[in-house]
């Protein structure tokens, strides 16, 4: 069966560079990175597979502070202890936060500001929601559709609304805002509530770029790979679980590479505001920077015949 144009586009997005990785590799090894001090990272949605990979990677790179936030605080203890074992010098803060509540996210921003003297380099929005997979809007639950937007899209807005002033106000900070996305973002053949809410999230990140890149913000939507997790166990049919072969440390290492200091302005401008996959080989990705800039790739657009 031939692919539709939309399906072909999604496949081309997955295969944007020839080499796809399943685990960290030398070019993005966080232990080879020396982050400045202070360097503070806030992970909203701080439990689960991707969160663990993010926290471990930033700890290995020498982050001086890591905030782990989730709806229930006890769920963060294992990740927090793991970070402390990797880098005892890293100050780890765990906090309750419901990303769907603007007051809860505002409180988390206030806690972050007070705890780290107003310094913040990176915010990673890792919170996500998906109901069961079904490719039929009649069969999908309205509650799942609403929850997907509340967490995946509106939650990302809450994080940006309350944390951007802190990011942009940090002198010599990385000023990075990362939304953990999904390869469902460019896909139109999956479960509607997840694909559409993730597409809206990525479009929101593009809006952040348009509004704040001129003030030094770096932002991106990052596909975390196929991860075995509580999230995937609940939302993905078992017949697809054999595809979940990526290491959670891959997305963590990729995000360290994206936000580490000393990168050229060319890299930041080539990738800023775009949809990225942690599976893409970064050396091959760098070879495509000129094409990305010239053709304005890895963004959403309405196709028209020029």
What residues does 43 pair with on adjacent strands? 68, 124
Q: Does 120 map to a domain?
A: yes
**Element (DSSP H or E) covering residue 257:** helix 248-259
Q: What is the pTM of this model?
A: 0.94
Domain count, the chain: 1
Q: Does 201 map to a domain?
A: yes
Q: Does 197 map to a domain?
A: yes
Rounded distance between C-alpha atoms, residue 185 and residue 158, angstroms? 20
* Per-residue tokens: 301: 């657009």
pLDDT-derived band of residue 302, with 50, 70 and 90 as boundaries? Answer: confident
> Collapsing DSSP states into helix, strand and coil, what is residue 43?
strand
Rounded distance between C-alpha atoms, residue 253 and residue 194, angstroms? 25
Query: What percent of the chain shows pLDDT beyond 90?
Result: 74
> Collapsing DSSP states into helix, strand and coil, what is residue 108?
helix
**DSSP summary character for residue 286:** H
User: Is the model's pLDDT at 29 over the cut of 90?
Assistant: yes
Domain containing 256 equals: 36-295
pLDDT-derived band of residue 298, with 50, 70 and 90 as boundaries? Answer: very high
Q: Does 176 map to a domain?
A: yes
Residue 244 sits in a domain whose CATH number is 3.40.50.720
pLDDT-derived band of residue 241, with 50, 70 and 90 as boundaries? Answer: very low
User: Is the model's pLDDT at 268 over the cut of 80?
Assistant: no
Query: What percent of the chain shows pLDDT beyond 70?
Result: 92
Instruction: Convert the pLDDT of each residue in 91-106 to its tens digit.
Output: 999 999 999 999 999 9
Q: Does 18 map to a domain?
A: no
61-75, 128-142, 222-236: least confidently modelled range: 222-236
| DSSP secondary structure of 219-244 | EEEEE-----SHHHHHHS-GGGGGG-
Q: Does 73 map to a domain?
A: yes
CB neighbours of residue 14 within 10 Å: 14
Q: Does 87 map to a domain?
A: yes
């Amino acid at each position: 069966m031939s692919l539709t144009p939309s399906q072909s586009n999604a496949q081309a997005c997955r295969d944007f560079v020839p080499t796809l990785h399943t685990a960290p590799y030398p070019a993005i090894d966080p232990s080879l990175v020396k982050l400045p001090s202070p360097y503070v990272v806030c992970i909203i949605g701080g439990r689960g597979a991707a969160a663990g990979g993010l926290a471990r990677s930033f700890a290995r790179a020498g982050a001086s502070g890591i905030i782990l936030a989730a709806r229930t605080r006890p769920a963060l203890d294992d990740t927090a202890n793991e970070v402390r074992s990797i880098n005892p010098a890293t100050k780890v803060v765990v906090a309750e936060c419901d990303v769907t509540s603007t007051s809860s996210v505002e409180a988390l921003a206030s806690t972050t500001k007070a705890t780290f003297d107003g310094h913040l380099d990176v915010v990673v929005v890792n919170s996500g929601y998906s109901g069961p997979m079904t490719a039929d809007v009649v069969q999908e639950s309205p509650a799942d559709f609403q929850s997907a937007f509340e967490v995946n899209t509106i939650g990302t807005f809450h994080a940006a609304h309350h944390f951007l002033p802190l990011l942009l106000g940090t002198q010599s900070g990385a000023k990075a805002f990362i939304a953990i996305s999904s390869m469902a973002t460019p896909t139109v053949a999956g479960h509607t509530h997840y694909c559409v809410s993730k597409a809206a999230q990525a479009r929101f990140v593009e809006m952040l770029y348009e509004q704040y890149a001129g003030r030094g913000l770096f932002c991106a939507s990052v596909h975390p790979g196929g991860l075995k997790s509580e999230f995937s166990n609940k939302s993905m049919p078992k017949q697809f679980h054999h595809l979940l072969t990526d290491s959670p440390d891959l997305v963590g290492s990729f995000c360290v590479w994206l936000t580490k200091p000393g990168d050229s302005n060319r890299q930041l401008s080539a990738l800023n505001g775009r949809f990225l996959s942690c599976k893409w080989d970064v050396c091959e990705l760098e070879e495509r920077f000129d094409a990305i800039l010239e053709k304005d790739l890895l963004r959403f657009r309405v196709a028209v015949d020029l």
